[in-house]
Chain A
Amino acid sequence: MNLWQAFFIGVNVMASAAIGLYFLRFWRGTRDPLFMVFAVGFWLLAANWGAQMWAPGDDYPQIYLLRLLAFGFIIAGIVGKNAAARRRHEPPRAG
């Protein structure tokens, strides 16, 4: 690994972690679980890139499983949001 790769790994870790923090803040303001899902997803991505400091490539399962977890979370969040929306629209709305 050369210095440039290490530099960009650092950039990605930092940016992903910061983005996750923003989503955490949005979750606190709206209590919408989707934002928590994205926060966790981006932190997992940060971990995914951080882990690459110790791995020559993405051949290690730990690396790509982290990424799988991150996107799995995001998919679950999207599915969850639509399931909740459907549930909310079914009961008759009073008022």
Chain B
Amino acid sequence: MAEAVYILCAITSLLCAVLLFRAYRRAPSRLLLWSSVCFVALALNSILVIVDRIIVPTAYDFRIHRLGVAAAGLVALLWALITDTPGKERP
């Protein structure tokens, strides 16, 4: 059950990443690129959960890698949001 959820999450994240990257190709912007990267990171996070639970449940704990990958993607997106969106004052 849990595995199915994480597979679904991984697929959804990848779908978002693909859509956003496609839009980035059409109209490049920092926000589009890094949101795409963030969703890839979230997909990796979900995949690593599955690896951690099923493939190598006892040999190695992937906890820190899962969290780290997600953190990298999220922080990158947050940075893009902070630097790429204008404030209320417009040109």
Interface residues of A (CB under 8 A from B): 4-5, 8-9, 11-12, 15-16, 18-19, 22, 26, 45, 49, 57-59, 61, 64-65, 67-68, 70-71, 74-75, 78
Residues of B within 8 A of A78 (CB): 15-16, 19
Given contacts A4-B64, A8-B64, A12-B70, contact A18 B78 (CB under 8 A): yes
How many residue pairs at the A-B interface have CB separations less than 8 Å? 69
Q: Which residues of B are in contact with A by a Cβ distance under 8 Å?
A: 1-2, 5-6, 8-9, 12-13, 15-16, 19, 42, 46, 49, 53, 63-64, 67-68, 70-71, 74-75, 77-78, 81, 85
Note all chain B residues with C-beta closer than 8 A to A68.
Answer: 5, 8-9
Among B16, B46, B63, the residue within 8 A (CB) of A74 is B16
Kindly list the 4 A-B residue pairs having the minimum CB-CB distance in the complex, ordered from nearest.
A8-B67, A15-B74, A71-B12, A22-B81
Inter-chain CA distance A49–B42, complex, in Å, is: 12
* A residues in contact with B5, CB < 8 Å: 64-65, 67-68
Prevailing SS type, chain B contact patch: helix
Let me know if B74 and A58 touch, CB within 8 A. Answer: no
Residues on A with C-beta less than 8 A from B75 are 11, 15
Contact present for A12 and B8 (CB under 8 Å): no
Residue contact A11 to B49, C-beta cutoff 8 Å: no
Residues of B within 8 Å of A49, CB to CB, are 67, 70
Is the Cβ of B78 less than 8 Å from the Cβ of A58? Answer: no
In the complex, what residues of B have CB within 8 A of residue A59's CB? Answer: 2, 53
In the bound assembly, the distance between CA atoms of A59 and B5 in angstroms comes to 12
A4 CB to nearest B CB, Å: 6
List the B side residues contacting A70 at CB < 8 Å.
9
Q: Are A19 and B78 closer than 8 Å at their CB atoms?
A: yes
